[in-house]
Chains A and B, each alone.
Chain A
């Protein structure tokens, strides 16, 4: 089956820059909605001095992270839903292209699939550890989560953490989307333990029948 899926590569930088812009865009969208700005009809071409949202928010600056909406639910939800939609599609794509190699029978198989195949595709490495309490709780740990590893803040570590937290909504959404697409409802949350190690906690409904492999 694999030959149907044409593999084409683009530069890694493109993807990381695109992901980097997701959070600022989510914040700006939130901001614009609160100020209920109607989108203008005429095509605007961004210039070096174009204000993207607030007066300080010029292209190439990081002023947008100082926005009061950085930690708002709206922004978090928006970033999470980008991830969710991506996850739904990725699951299909991965299952299709790797159908021969992946057998998903029990929940633990699905988790392994997330740790190995999904993570490898997204971040070029596997999750570092997977733990479970055999009652529907899973903990996935990545000791060096690349997308946030390069973040830094000139002001304070606290600010860095709050920005990183918003960025983590994306992988949370991706995991939730993938699981949803494979028939598992899950609550996903991420926590930064020791920067840049990230712990993803997945809460899934407990199996009444009992997990055979557990």
Chain B
């Protein structure tokens, strides 16, 4: 679901902001948190733990509009607390949107405060920057 949303959301993003190409992944990170999250979800996550090679970082969400009224049920099912990432949608959105601007990424949750963790952390890892290609039949 998220991936599809992201693919469409990026168009809205580019149309409304007129953002230019980012020079580095660091700049991309800033763009995601300060422009993207601010514009769509009205919250600005912090960027932390940039890896030394500059290819991965964490977004720390202080507020999560998606989980505002949500509490995970206390059940016997160990699966719910071990495997359910309630806001997994974000990962898809980020990946779908970044794919559309030629960034192949892995996005996953590390911690989520509705699971009882101290904060919500999404990790983004850049796999590679895809080459701009002219779509088939348009050369």
Contact = CB atoms under 8 A, between A and B. Distances in A.
Given A10-B40, A14-B41, A21 B7 contact: no
Given A8-B63, A17-B8, 19 more contacts: A10-B65, A13-B9, A13-B12, A20-B8, A21-B4, A21-B5, A24-B1, A24-B4, A43-B108, A45-B107, A45-B108, A46-B95, A46-B96, A48-B99, A59-B4, A59-B7, A59-B96, A60-B4, A93-B69
8 nearest CB pairs, A to B: A46-B3, A11-B40, A60-B7, A21-B1, A17-B5, A59-B3, A13-B12, A14-B40
B107 to A, nearest CB: 7
Contacts of B63: 8
Interface in A135-165: none
A25 interface: yes
B92 interface: yes
Given A45-B95, A48-B99, A9 B42 contact: yes
Contacts of A8: 42, 63, 65, 68
Interface in A82-120: 89, 93
A89 B68 CA distance: 13
Contacts of A50: 3
A6 to B, nearest CB: 9
Q: Is the interface of B mostly helix, strand, loop or mixed?
A: helix
B110 interface: no
Interface of A: 8-11, 13-14, 17-18, 20-21, 24-25, 43, 45-48, 50, 59-60, 89, 93
B72 interface: no
Contacts of A43: 108
Contacts of B12: 13
Q: Is the interface of A mostly helix, strand, loop or mixed?
A: loop
B106 interface: yes
B39 interface: yes
Interface in B101-122: 106-108
A53 B51 CA distance: 35
B68 to A, nearest CB: 7
B84 to A, nearest CB: 12
A171 B93 CA distance: 25
A18 B9 CA distance: 10
Nearest to B11: A13
A10 B42 CA distance: 6
Contacts of A24: 1, 4
A84 B12 CA distance: 30
A150 B79 CA distance: 39
A11 B7 contact: no
Contacts of A9: 42
Given A10-B40, A10-B65, A45-B107, A18 B92 contact: no
